[in-house]
Amino acid sequence: MNNLLFILLQTTALTAEEIQQKRDSIQQGAKMMVEYAKTDPHGFWHTVGETMLQFGLKVLAALAIFVIGWWLIGLVKKALTRVFTRRKVEPTLASFVGSFVTISLTVLVIIISISTLGVNTTSLAALLAAGGMAIGMALSGTVQNFAGGIMLLAFKPFKAGDFIEAQGHSGKVIEVNITSTKLLTTDNRVVILPNGALSNGTINNITGRPLRRVEWEVSVSYGVDAAACKKAILDIVNSDKQVLQANTNMHALYKKMNISKYQLSTVNYKMDAIPAPFVALKSLNANDITFVVRAWVESSDYWDVFFRLQERFYTELPPQGFTFAYPHVDVTMLNS
């Protein structure tokens, strides 16, 4: 009798080659059970009772394992949520990791619960592995983008709101999901980049840091007083309120910009001090001399400061005697 119930329980998750053998075994076991019931009815029902009691205890144990496992999965999920919130992990990555861990642990608990009933789960595990491999091969391109998305969300070369250049496109990142990244270009087009190629290519994150250095080149005519020109340029730069100075309070600046301590702990993210605005004679050209001008600003102020000071150089330097050069040829006429 015990052998018959064991055979019945083992019919779960069979391979195609074993089905016929199990059918024969079941038929043979059924015949044995009928003969046993005819020859010894009292012993038959006693065995049935013991077997059902043992099976009931296994069912209770399986239910207990499933309930406890489900409770533990809930605790793990809550712990992951707290960790992701504290570390300010990208919401898409946090959701994916949470779902993946929950599904994996749930499948594991179900397999353990089934094995507690005495069912052989080896074939079931093999079937799941084979199915996963087949799906992975069929969706190789999607899996590559999926893996690329995990890499992007885990290592964060950029985040939503950053302006990047990648795969021949540039724009503001408006969405990062598991398989693709969406860019909003400056002329209001949406470009969708597959994460597989994006994670393996070069990414230029233009606004990836809170502070940026602005650079201009100012060319003036030969003959100007270089020291006086440098001073005039520096006066223009230093008079702009959005240009950061060497005495800028970095703690107050990062607090105003809402930069977290976790972000500041990232390598090369934090600057301990701001270099003072800088002007130097860069080159002596055929028709002019060129000064290079450098200053630091908040990343969000970059283009405003660049265009505003560019215009101020053009309008304020000539009245002070620093004229701009243009290509020309001096011709000297000699009287014969």
Q: Does residue 31 lie in a domain region?
A: yes
pLDDT the model gives residue 13: 43
**Residue 286 tokens, joined:** 């055929």
Rounded Cα gap, residues 167 and 189, in angstroms: 15
How would you classify the pairing of strands 203-205 and 163-166? antiparallel
Within a domain: residue 72?
yes
Type and span of the H or E element at 39: helix 19-39
Looking at the domain assignment, is residue 253 inside a domain?
A: yes
The number of beta carbons lying within 10 Å of the beta carbon of residue 291 is 21
CATH, residue 196? 2.30.30.60
In angstroms, the CA 130 to CA 134 distance is 6
CATH code, 102: 1.10.287
8 plus 107 within the same structural domain: yes
Per-residue pLDDT tens for 186-212?
999 999 999 888 988 899 998 888 899
The reply to whether the predicted model has a pTM over 0.85 is no
Residue 43: the pLDDT is 63
Instruction: Give CA torsion, residues 136, 140, 146, 148, to 10 deg.
Output: 130
Domain span including residue 82? 2-117
Same-domain check for residues 27 and 108:
yes
User: Do 232 and 249 belong to one domain?
Assistant: yes
Q: Provide mean pLDDT across the span 150-169.
A: 86
- Structure tokens of 193? 């980049």
**Pick the residue with more confidence: 43 or 9?**
43
**Pair (303, 270) in one structural domain:** yes
Confidence of residue 46 (pLDDT cuts 50, 70, 90): low
Claim to verify: residue 86 and residue 58 sit in the same structural domain = yes
> Is the Cβ–Cβ distance between 62 and 116 less than 8 Å?
yes
Helix (H, G, I), strand (E, B) or coil at 267: coil
Highest mean pLDDT among 13-17, 52-56, 307-311: 307-311
Q: Which letter does DSSP use for residue 244 in this model? A: B
Are 37 and 113 found together in one domain?
Answer: yes
Residue 4, pLDDT > 50, answer: no
In this structure, the number of other CB atoms found within 10 A of the CB of residue 286 comes to 6
Amino acid sitting at position 190: V
In tens, the pLDDT along 82-141 reads: 887 887 766 666 766 777 788 788 888 888 887 777 766 666 666 667 666 665 555 556
- On whether both 197 and 223 belong to a single domain, the answer is no
Q: What is the mean pLDDT of the chain?
A: 80
Asked whether residue 195 falls in the same domain as residue 262, the answer is: no
Give me the long-range contacts of 81-87 (CB less than 8 A, separation at least 24): 87/262
Same domain for 311 and 257:
yes
- Residue 90's nearest CA partner among 148, 160, 145 is 160
Work out how many domains the chain is built from and give that number.
Answer: 3
pLDDT of res. 235: 96
Asked if the structure places residue 181 within a domain, the reply is: yes
User: What's the rounded Cα separation, in Å, for the pair 179 and 149?
Assistant: 5
Lowest mean pLDDT among 34-43, 102-111, 155-164, 179-188: 34-43
**57 and 158 share a domain?**
no
- End-to-end CA separation in angstroms for the chain: 134
Q: How confident is the model at residue 12 (pLDDT cuts 50, 70, 90)?
A: very low
Average pLDDT, integer, range 60-65 = 84
* 3-state class (DSSP) for residue 157: coil
| Distance between CA atoms of residues 10 and 14, nearest Å | 8
The reported pLDDT for the residue numbered 2 is 43
Strands (E), 140-189: 163-166, 169-176, 180-184
Same domain flag for 85 and 162 = no
Residue 15 placed within a domain? yes
Residue 252 tokens read as: 């107050």
91 and 32 in a common domain: yes
Query: What are the residues whose beta carbons fall under 8 Å from the beta carbon of 35, sequence distance 6 or more?
Result: none
pLDDT over 70 at 331, yes or no: yes
Q: What pLDDT score was predicted for residue 5?
A: 40
Instruction: Quote the pLDDT of residue 291.
Output: 96
Task: Specify if 30 maps to a domain.
Answer: yes
**Residue 242: inside a domain:** yes
Q: Is residue 244 part of a domain?
A: yes
